[in-house]
Structure 1
Amino acid sequence: MIEGIHKINPSAVHYVFVPCRDKSLFGRNSISKDAIKIVYFYVPSWLKFFPIIKVFFAFLKVIVFFRKESLDVSKFKGVAYTFWSDGAITFLVRLFYKCPYIVCVRNTDIQVFFKYGYHLRPLMKLIFNFSIKVVCPSRVISESVLSRRWLCSSESKVCVIPNPLPLWWAENSVSSVNSRLDGGYIYGVFVGSFDKNKNLTGVVEAISHARERYPSLQLMCVGGEEEEMFSLLGEGDIPDYLKVMGRIDDKNHLLKIYRRSAFLIVPSYQETFGMVYIEAISQGCSVIYSEGQAVDGMLPKGKFSFAVLPGNTENMSMAICSAIEMRETVSVADFLDVIALFDMNQVCKAYLNIFEGLK
């Protein structure tokens, strides 16, 4: 996203601080632009057991860099990518240098620090109060923040700005939409870890029910191996309508799978955003996700976007059938309209507009 912000505001110099527990990660992400400087620094892994000490350790590393480079930090504007790990450091920078900052909330903040970090709550409340905006990538996270009265002292400070669709997917977005029949088969796809939270066993049951109506229905499963599938399904062989694809890191390969599929189904029990849904939409693939999770409330429902109850096999099966039936009614424009909501340029402008509002 930093490249998108730089494109809009090329006159500014952008510093990205990346704490690493493994020095071999130094330099892994590099951007060949003079105005974008990525600063790696080492943080010992054992400090994760002492979160407050870890924050001050990282803060001192940042301060040393500022002084070494003789930077006028008072003119800086900060964006903390995570609420606790990055937000605490940015808060301390704000105390010393008076520079404004935006803080983002991520899944780890919700599931770990907000839930179990009782001793960290006084500092987390200060992070919230001193920020100019608290950005949530989805309505699910926003509602979670707003429900925590010990943290949220101002509802108006909380806003939703989605994670942007990576430029590669946007530049390779679909140019045609069809019924997605392939050699007489109808394909669906699951992309995610083969674990209980992602609800793959429920998906397999729903596919089995949907095959009573669509016998040619097949499901491609991306993200795990056959051993993991055996472990989830228990005794017996893997049904022949399930195709275990393993882990796929090649974006071109995944793109072809999305374009082959009529729908993506990932009805997780807990999902705070899920970029896979937006990637799939960019390739003209309908999406099925859990009600009250992930991108629910951010997509128009009923045409190529379906919210389901993850514990209800019949409900998921009906959504699968609806997704197949509605293929004939959707157009490229329908998908592109949704992709526009996650456009990198628009998301970056939303962040910059927050800072512009300070003037």
Structure 2
Amino acid sequence: MILHITNDYSGSTVYKNLVGELDNLNLGQIVYNPIREASRIGKNKIDFKNKKSKIFYSKILNKYTDRILYKKKINKIVKDIESKVDLTKITYIHAHTWYSDGGAAYILSQKYNIPYIVAIRNTDLNLFFKYFIHERNFGKRILKNAQKIITISEVYKKRVLESDKLTSLKSSLLDKVMVIPNGVDSFWIENNTSNKNNTISNDVNALYIGKFDKGKNVLNLVKAVKNINHKGKHKVHLTLVGGGGSDHLQILENIKECNLISFTGKITDKRKLLDIYRSNQLFTMPSKAETFGLVYVEAMLQCLPILYTSNEGIDGFYEENIGEKIESLDEIEIENKILKLITCFSAYHIPTEKLIVNHDWKLIAKKYKELYNA
């Protein structure tokens, strides 16, 4: 029986997709999801084929002190798991983040001698490890005692192995760290296209899909597109799909009188999203930080070259020329790279077959099952 500790299970379909495919492999699973809001209870629910499997949505976290008092939060999670899960039945723990989930996995492993793997994601490297200096030694112990360490992207693996803060663990990390990317919904694989038009006019359709929070850097994307259109040589129509987040109102205000930038709101219908991908020529998401960015993969499966960020997300995962990466986050850099996407459009190559193999949840689930059984 596998115990998944995942603080964001109800907030992302990534975990549901993996757990669902593991269920198709007849793996017994307990999914433990500590939550702050009661509204998350039942989200991403699965009707398990394996009747021993179960999801615990546990409303034990608060919005304030648990964000600051890390150890207190971890101990609270450990006690709650102990009260709800028969740990004598658990053979392996999968911690889906290094700090928020890995801390609990480490303590349970020490107490009950259960092996665990831990994944490293965006907030682990860019928030906890960077700013929670007082918890850095505890973070090292989590990695040291993990059987395997999963990074979702190649660039995060590189950052872990090259970190001067982890020098003391270097030899063990080399044997432990491995990359297993996230998959995409099977809809995108089944509806992929490798038919890229190698010509583009000065009238260009660009797309962004996601939240409007500061980390996604959408405001600077909007400003960059407005700069291009103001100069007049190229006309870039930017479609923004999604919304919500800290910059939502500011972005809507910024595009209010701009007829070349349109906002659709959130779209969940995959067929509608497919039509939107196929009506655009570029995908632009200049995130400040990104664990991987599955919308990049969705876009590339529709043969769109992408604008992405250096040392984040999908950077370094593909050797092919899949688009342009920004080295800084300001609007001028974004503007220049969008212009390069336009002028060099025919030079980009999307490796469709590799995308299909690398991001198929069925194949990814088999890799994880092999790890659990190793």
Q: Is the TM value for this pair above 0.5?
A: yes
Unaligned runs of 5+ in 1: none
SS in 2 for 1:351: helix
TM-align CA RMSD: 3.2
CA contact (8 A) 2:109 2:115 kept: yes
Instruction: Give the corresponding residue for 2:88.
Output: 72
Look up the equivalent residue of 1:267 and give its one-letter code: P
What CA distance in whole angstroms lies between the structure 2 residues aligned with 1:311 and 1:53? 35
Name which one, 1 or 2, has greater alpha-carbon Rg. Answer: 1
Look up the equivalent residue of 1:263 and give its one-letter code: L
Instruction: Give the corresponding residue for 2:302.
Output: 283
SS in 1 for 2:166: coil
2:173 counterpart (133, 141, 155): 155
1:5 counterpart (16, 22, 36): 22
Unaligned runs of 5+ in 2: 1-17
For residues 64-111 of structure 1, give each alpha carbon's deviation from its aligned partner in whole angstroms, at most 9, with x where no partner exists.
Answer: 2234xxx633x5111101111211111122112222111011222223
Instruction: Give the corresponding residue for 1:229.
Output: 251
CA contact (8 A) 1:267 1:310 kept: no
SS in 1 for 2:250: helix
Distance apart, 1:180 and its partner CA: 9.0
SS in 1 for 2:351: helix
Work out whether 1:346 is the aligned partner of 2:363.
Answer: yes
Q: Give me the TM-score of the superposition, normalised by structure 1.
A: 0.82
CA contact (8 A) 1:281 1:339 kept: no
> Structure 1 residues 247, 125: CA separation in 2 closer, same or farther (over 3 Å shift)?
same
Query: Bigger shift: 304-313 or 117-126?
Result: 304-313
SS in 1 for 2:239: strand
SS in 2 for 1:85: coil
Q: Percent identity among equivalent residues?
A: 27
CA contact (8 A) 2:96 2:102 kept: yes
> Structure 1 residues 352, 123: CA separation in 2 closer, same or farther (over 3 Å shift)?
same
Instruction: Give the corresponding residue for 1:19.
Output: 34
1:99 counterpart (107, 114, 123): 114
SS in 2 for 1:61: helix
> Structure 1 residues 111, 354: CA separation in 2 closer, same or farther (over 3 Å shift)?
same
> Structure 1 residues 254, 63: CA separation in 2 closer, same or farther (over 3 Å shift)?
same
Distance apart, 1:53 and its partner CA: 2.1
Look up the equivalent residue of 1:98 and give its one-letter code: N
Distance apart, 1:26 and its partner CA: 2.4
Instruction: Give the corresponding residue for 1:58.
Output: 77
What CA distance in whole angstroms lies between the structure 1 residues aligned with 2:65 and 2:215? 29
Q: How many equivalent residue pairs?
A: 345
> Structure 1 residues 181, 257: CA separation in 2 closer, same or farther (over 3 Å shift)?
farther
CA contact (8 A) 1:180 1:186 kept: no
What CA distance in whole angstroms lies between the structure 2 residues aligned with 1:38 and 1:77? 16
SS in 2 for 1:82: coil
Work out whether 1:198 is the aligned partner of 2:213.
Answer: no
For residues 304-345 of structure 1, give each alpha carbon's deviation from its aligned partner in whole angstroms, at most 9, with x where no partner exists.
Answer: 4222334576764554355446666778x8324323222212
Q: Give me the TM-score of the superposition, normalised by structure 2.
A: 0.79
Work out whether 1:166 is the aligned partner of 2:185.
Answer: yes
Instruction: Give the corresponding residue for 1:256.
Output: 275
Distance apart, 1:163 and its partner CA: 1.5
